[in-house]
């Protein structure tokens, strides 16, 4: 590196970037501003072709046309910054675009961040959710809250169901998965994923009611009613059929029993 041109050519082999660095160096030296003589995270190329980052603190002696530089290798720090930025971008992308509602909170119930899915589900803005905190979102009449918090404290994670209140105060049934983690400074945080299961709960209730009604209809008919699966095992049967089998065969029917056992060998075939 016997002259300036060779210095720039070797350290900055990409022509466009090299010209940019030359212009910046000249402008910084001519400015007389000492703050502009500190160049951080400057990407260079070594003699082996390896890309590295350096920090340079420079003193320009204009009378002698001399630049004195103290240079430190900052590659590890820069790589760490790049990795952190990439991690933050991935996290932010997942957080912002998740179809599930996600809350970043403190274990004491303070809400730090809420993703767009949470805002849409509850009808609040993120700032409103942050101001309300955990107590402002959960139905105060829900008795399950203390137990879930206690289990999370013990196991560091918890899965359960809660009732939240939308902005218009209508209740919403949700499933939550919440876990405690610590950051780089050993500070505790919680991440809570929320799924609206209101419609599913309504469907479950309707299904149970339908099954109960159907069972009542079947059990109270005088006709014999039964159903078997593809392997000829009993799925359901009513009292009338159960009594007939018990009286004629002295057999107590059970679900899953092979119906062919009640037949002759020829009949079973």
Q: Which of 191, 149, 197 is nearest to 172 (CA)?
A: 197
Question: Which tokens in the block code for residue 5?
Answer: 């041109």
Q: What are phi and psi of 58, to 5 degrees?
A: -120, 145
In this prediction the pTM is 0.55
pLDDT in the model for residue 71 = 92
Region 248-267: mean pLDDT is 86
Q: What is the C-alpha separation between 40 and 55, in angstroms, rounded?
A: 4
pLDDT > 90: percent of the chain: 41
Q: Which of 85, 156, 164 is nearest to 121 (CA)?
A: 164
Helix ranges, 123-173 (H): 126-137, 145-155
pLDDT in the model for residue 264 = 82
Q: What is the C-alpha separation between 167 and 174, in angstroms, rounded?
A: 15
Question: Which tokens in the block code for residue 4?
Answer: 């300036």
pLDDT in the model for residue 25 = 84
pLDDT in the model for residue 176 = 93
pLDDT digits (tens, 9 = 90+) for 28-40: 888 888 888 898 9
Q: What is the C-alpha separation between 139 and 163, in angstroms, rounded?
A: 6
Q: What are phi and psi of 172, to 5 degrees?
A: -140, 130
Q: Which of 98, 142, 136 is nearest to 120 (CA)?
A: 98
pLDDT in the model for residue 196 = 92
Q: 122 or 58, which is more confident?
A: 122
Would the pLDDT of 133 be above 90?
Answer: yes
User: Any idea what DSSP says for residue 162?
Assistant: E
pLDDT digits (tens, 9 = 90+) for 74-130: 999 888 888 888 878 887 888 888 888 999 999 888 999 999 999 999 999 999 999
Question: Which tokens in the block code for residue 102?
Answer: 């996600």
Q: What is the C-alpha separation between 81 and 77, in angstroms, rounded?
A: 6
Model confidence band, residue 265 (pLDDT cutoffs 50, 70, 90)? confident
């Amino acid at each position: 590196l016997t002259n300036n041109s060779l210095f720039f050519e070797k350290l900055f082999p990409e022509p466009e970037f090299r010209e940019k660095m030359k212009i910046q160096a000249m402008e910084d030296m001519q400015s007389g501003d000492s703050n502009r003589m500190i160049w951080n995270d400057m990407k260079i190329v070594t003699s082996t072709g390896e890309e590295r980052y350096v920090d340079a603190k420079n003193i320009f002696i204009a009378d002698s046309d001399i630049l004195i530089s103290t240079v430190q290798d900052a590659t590890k720090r820069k790589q760490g910054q790049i990795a952190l930025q990439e991690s933050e971008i991935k996290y932010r992308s997942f957080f912002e675009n998740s179809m599930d509602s996600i809350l970043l909170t403190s274990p004491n119930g303070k809400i730090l961040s809420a993703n767009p899915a949470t805002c849409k589900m509850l009808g609040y803005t993120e700032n409103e959710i942050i101001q309300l905190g955990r107590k402002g979102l959960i139905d105060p009449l829900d008795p399950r809250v203390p137990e879930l918090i206690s289990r999370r404290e013990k196991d560091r994670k918890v899965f359960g169901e809660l009732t939240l209140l939308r902005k218009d105060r209508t209740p919403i049934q949700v499933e939550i998965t919440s876990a405690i983690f610590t950051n780089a400074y050993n500070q505790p945080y919680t991440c809570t994923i929320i799924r609206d299961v209101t419609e599913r709960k309504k469907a479950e209730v309707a299904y149970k009611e339908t099954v109960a009604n159907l069972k009542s209809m079947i059990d109270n008919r005088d006709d014999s009613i039964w159903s078997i699966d593809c392997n000829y095992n009993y799925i359901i049967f009513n009292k009338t059929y159960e009594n007939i089998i018990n009286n004629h065969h002295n057999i107590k029917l059970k679900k899953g029993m092979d119906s062919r056992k009640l037949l002759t060998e020829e009949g079973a075939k």
